[in-house]
Each structure stands twice: as C-alpha cells, then as structure tokens.
Amino acid sequence: MGITIGNYTFDGPLSSTGSLQSRSGVYAILGRNGTGGWAVVDIGESGDLRNRIDGHDREACWNRQTSSSWSVAAYYCDEPTRMRIESALRSQYDPPCGKQ
C-alpha cells in the first residue's frame, strides 16, 4: 500500500506504528479530510521512524487536528535525503502541527 505525498510514494497510511520499520526516513501524520481523502497534519524526519512516532511530543496536536484517529506514512531514506524532503514537504503542505 502506498500514498503519494508531494513527489514521493510513502508506505501507508498505517493505522499503527507496529508496521513501521526502525529505519531512517520521513514521516507524514495524516488525518481524514471532509471528502474522505487524506490531509497532512505533520511532517517530520528521524533516524528511527518507529521510535520517533511512538510517544511523540506532538501527538496531542495530531489528536486535536483529526476528527477520529490519525495514521502515519513513511518514506525510508538516508539522513541528507530525509532532511531535504522534510523541508520541501513542510513548505508545500504547511502542516498545522510542528510549526517552528
């Protein structure tokens, strides 16, 4: 299963972190929009996606932004690539969580 976010095909959306790999990459937190599609709630990057998402410090924001529950999508890549992709996708989507 995959979802296109920007120009990248992410794994997901996944309803739990149990399917995430403990690898470097970019994550997208998604919630359902009014038409049944997906809305980007947050974008981030980590050297270990599974551990980053579990107990994330912005989870309360994700919960406030979604009408039911949030899902996660992952794009696995190395550190320089993940930092570049995170920056580009944050600029493109301007997610409501994780504002600097």
43-53 residue pLDDT tens: 999 999 999 99
What's the per-residue H, E or C state across 10-65? EEEEECCHHHCCCCCEEEEEEEECCCCCEEEEEEEEECCHHHHHCCCCCHHHHHHH
Provide mean pLDDT across the span 79-96: 96
This prediction has a pTM of 0.93
* 94: three-class secondary structure by DSSP: coil
| pLDDT category of residue 56 using cuts at 50, 70 and 90 | very high
For the chain, what percent of residues have pLDDT higher than 70?
99
Domains of the chain, each with CATH number or no CATH:
2-93 (3.40.1440.10)
14-33 residue pLDDT tens: 998 999 999 999 999 999 88
